[in-house]
Structure 1
Amino acid sequence: MSLQDDTALWLGRAWLPDVKGPAVVTVRDGQLCDVTSRAFPTVSHLLDADDPAAILRDLPGRALGPVGDIADVAPDPDRLHLLAPCDLQAIKACGVTFARSMVERVIEEQAAGDPARAAEVRARIGALIGDSLRNLRAGSPEAAEVKAALQAEGLWSQYLEVGIGPDAEVFTKAQPLSSVGPNAEVGLHPISTWNNPEPEIVLAVSSTGRILGATLGNDVNLRDVEGRSALLLGKAKDNNASCAIGPMIRLFDDGFSLDDVRAATLDLTVTGAGGYEMTGQSSMAEISRDPADLVAQTIGRHHQYPDGVMLFLGTLFAPTEDRDEPGQGFTHKSGDVVRIAAPGLGALVNTVRLSTECPEWHFGVRALMANLAQRGLV
């Protein structure tokens, strides 16, 4: 499904070069429409309304042009283009939500971030637990048995606790307004030499904890940095341009719901120089924690987010095939093009660079408020 499909209710943001600021946008009859107003100057405002889907359908809009053309435009301050579809929301992420990918986190830790040691650790763990992680549910008796078996082999890891124990890992992925959108460059911290994309579904959640829609995200992963120490998670995850979200949020309605998210399959393609291509999938049917439970563990009486939350749900994908030298596994190279797609959610495409080479992030909350005020919207 593309953004031109009129059966979907899309909500996003676009950069307006004439006002040097963002607009709240939707898609109507194949046209990208500006629906920004004093009542709803941001996506955060709209998602906190009583019925965002109904309001979005009725908001007056100004056509900006064919969405198919605009959706392919790379970020340029002098051109109309799509931004990440969130603004004031906190950007949170859940890690180790798939039991099978949990094993790769254990491997990273055991290998201390060294891809050459990872193959040996992977073989040990695979021989021990085989395929017992498929469809394993966190907190279940079966999960406790797997945990005990790994502990008995001296393979205990803090990742086991968050992967199959009662409490989910929830961390801050990026700062509000720092996420990049479709066609943007996505950044890797230059200290990393072992890294990969993480294709994920991202939920749009209101300040009251209502799950209102979903979009796609790339939770860029620095395997060597986090593998050296879980205490380096912030350094591994939150860097310039290291979070991509888009292309737009699809709001839940009669044709699309959280059950569609639960059943979704994400397709990943990485293309690089010399004809290189890697493909992969992440099936939400194998998630070890229900998305609604992840939201409940993120926002509630224990922690409030007054501007809402964009919540990454985690990924099943963890590449192990060698790209260059045997035993070194996969890692990105500058110029890789990452495409993440899922039925009903469109496609998110980004080009990989170093974070130090990506455009610096300057348009923060103060800049947004000043821009909206200048336009008479706040």
Structure 2
Amino acid sequence: MLIFRYRDGTNLNLAVRVEDGSAYRLEASDLMALVRQARAAGQTTEEYVRSRLRESRRIEAPAHSLDLATPLDAPEVWAAGVTYQRSREARNFEAAEGRTDAETFYDKVYDAERPELFMKSTAARTVGPGERVCLRSDSSWQVPEAELGLVLDRTGAVVGYTVGNDMSCRDIEGQNPLYLPQAKIWRRSCAIGPFVRLAETVEDPYSLGIACRIYRDGAKVVEETANTSQLKRRLDELVRFLKRDNELFDGTVLLTGTCLVPPNQFTLRSGDRIEIEIEGIGTLANTAVYANEIEPELVSE
């Protein structure tokens, strides 16, 4: 069961796509309001939505053909780093200036009890499916990072799963670990969507296939695949550390790290199309552009 939002003129509507592919408009204002309504009724969100389907208006157009938006306005997006061996290797390559045999602080955090967690984005900096993500003007080595995203409530309970793109500047991060915020956070440096799959409908979040494809001038130039079974950290472990002496907000998204890193010689260019697919959740597609290529009226978003 997939929750999504779509634009209908000036309206932003919440909807659900069920197993047979049909979609229905929901009356709740947003995903977290839907979750609260379900809890008030003493039901899981899935049970509540199913109980309301007969009263919901069916959407005749296929969900993928709609003007999709972010599935929720995440007040904060956090991210975890070095949670996969492939990420560890890539971070070491950046920090050790191309050497593969040098031990770095990334090795230490990979094996440490405390995971790496950092603020990634806010609602104003996060875009949805079909929208443009931005490239930094002061970086010459930029990549997308395909990640499973956890949608959390204020207690840290996992409400659902989504697809995330953690845009990253490998050269800036590799120069100095203190540059991490600049390597990770800028306008339109994060994308999520197109759907949130309700947590109670996911039998095993540690067995989801992930793929990242990048197209340039219509030709596929990168294709990488992985599986969440390769995740070293447990999801509840990441949430537990994020909650520690911290305040969470309903709809917070936690990106759980990447196992898909394009080849070291690759960097994104303006016009590249990025597709990130997670099994059972959907495909998030965005086009990368430099900030100064976006029309002036969109710069102030």
- Fold shared by both chains (TM-score > 0.5): yes
2:216 aligned partner: 272
Q: Does structure 1 residue 190 correspond to structure 2 residue 180?
A: no
Alpha-carbon distance in structure 2 between the residues aligned to 1:244 and 1:264: 19
Structure ranking higher in strand proportion: 2
Match 2:56 to one of 53, 61, 67: 61
**Equivalences for residues 68-83 of structure 1 within 5 A:** 68=63, 71-72=64-65, 81-83=67-69
Q: Does structure 1 residue 11 correspond to structure 2 residue 33?
A: no
Q: Counterpart of 2:127 in 1: which secondary structure?
A: coil
Q: Counterpart of 1:227 in 2: which secondary structure?
A: helix
Does structure 1 conserve the Cα–Cα contact (< 8 Å) formed by 2:71 and 2:195? Answer: yes
Residue by residue over 1:111-138, the C-alpha shift from the partner in whole angstroms, topping out at 9 and shown as x without a partner, is 2xxxxxx2xx13xx2xxxxxxxxxxxxx
Q: What is the CA distance between 1:194 and its match in structure 2?
A: 0.5
Alpha-carbon distance in structure 2 between the residues aligned to 1:72 and 1:357: 26
Alpha-carbon distance in structure 2 between the residues aligned to 1:16 and 1:240: 25
- The more displaced of 283-292 and 176-185 is 176-185
Does structure 1 conserve the Cα–Cα contact (< 8 Å) formed by 2:164 and 2:255? Answer: yes
**AA aligned opposite 2:31:** V
1:128 aligned partner: none
2:31 aligned partner: 43
Q: What is the CA distance between 1:315 and its match in structure 2?
A: 0.8
1:351 aligned partner: 287
**Equivalences for residues 150-229 of structure 1 within 5 A:** 155-229=102-176
- The more displaced of 193-202 and 159-168 is 159-168
**AA aligned opposite 1:35:** L
Q: Counterpart of 2:197 in 1: which secondary structure?
A: strand
**AA aligned opposite 1:90:** E
Q: Percent identity?
A: 27
Q: Counterpart of 1:167 in 2: which secondary structure?
A: coil
Match 1:256 to one of 199, 202, 205: 202
Q: What is the CA distance between 1:274 and its match in structure 2?
A: 7.1
In structure 2, do the counterparts of structure 1 residues 229 and 61 end up closer, same or farther at CA, with 3 Å as the change threshold? farther
1:52 aligned partner: 45
In structure 2, do the counterparts of structure 1 residues 44 and 32 end up closer, same or farther at CA, with 3 Å as the change threshold? same
**AA aligned opposite 2:191:** A
Q: Counterpart of 2:172 in 1: which secondary structure?
A: helix
Alpha-carbon distance in structure 2 between the residues aligned to 1:201 and 1:230: 24
Residue by residue over 1:156-196, the C-alpha shift from the partner in whole angstroms, topping out at 9 and shown as x without a partner, is 43322322211111111110253211111121111111011
Q: What is the CA distance between 1:305 and its match in structure 2?
A: 1.1
Question: Mind listing any 5+ residue stretches in structure 2 that lack a counterpart?
Answer: none
Q: What is the CA distance between 1:263 and its match in structure 2?
A: 1.0
Alpha-carbon distance in structure 2 between the residues aligned to 1:167 and 1:64: 45
Match 1:23 to one of 3, 7, 13: 13
**AA aligned opposite 1:335:** G
Q: Counterpart of 1:314 in 2: which secondary structure?
A: strand
2:258 aligned partner: 315
Give the TM-score taking structure 1 as reference length.
Answer: 0.71
Q: Quote the RMSD (CA, aligned, Å).
A: 2.2
Match 1:91 to one of 74, 77, 82: 77
**AA aligned opposite 1:55:** Y
Q: What is the CA distance between 1:235 and its match in structure 2?
A: 1.6
1:242 aligned partner: 189
**AA aligned opposite 1:228:** Q
Q: Counterpart of 1:66 in 2: which secondary structure?
A: coil
Residue by residue over 1:348-370, the C-alpha shift from the partner in whole angstroms, topping out at 9 and shown as x without a partner, is 1111111333463656xxxxxxx
Give the TM-score taking structure 2 as reference length.
Answer: 0.88
In structure 2, do the counterparts of structure 1 residues 32 and 177 end up closer, same or farther at CA, with 3 Å as the change threshold? farther
- The more displaced of 303-312 and 331-340 is 303-312
Alpha-carbon distance in structure 1 between the residues aligned to 2:27 and 2:119: 28
Question: Mind listing any 5+ residue stretches in structure 1 that lack a counterpart?
Answer: 1-8, 74-80, 112-117, 126-154, 322-328, 364-378
**AA aligned opposite 1:223:** R
- How many equivalent pairs are there? 291
Alpha-carbon distance in structure 1 between the residues aligned to 2:272 and 2:117: 28
**AA aligned opposite 2:285:** V
Residue by residue over 1:320-375, the C-alpha shift from the partner in whole angstroms, topping out at 9 and shown as x without a partner, is 25xxxxxxx01111111111112211211111111333463656xxxxxxxxxxxx
In structure 2, do the counterparts of structure 1 residues 274 and 212 end up closer, same or farther at CA, with 3 Å as the change threshold? closer
Q: What is the CA distance between 1:16 and its match in structure 2?
A: 2.8
Alpha-carbon distance in structure 1 between the residues aligned to 2:212 and 2:218: 19
In structure 2, do the counterparts of structure 1 residues 293 and 62 end up closer, same or farther at CA, with 3 Å as the change threshold? same
Does structure 1 conserve the Cα–Cα contact (< 8 Å) formed by 2:74 and 2:253? Answer: no
Q: Does structure 1 residue 297 correspond to structure 2 residue 283?
A: no
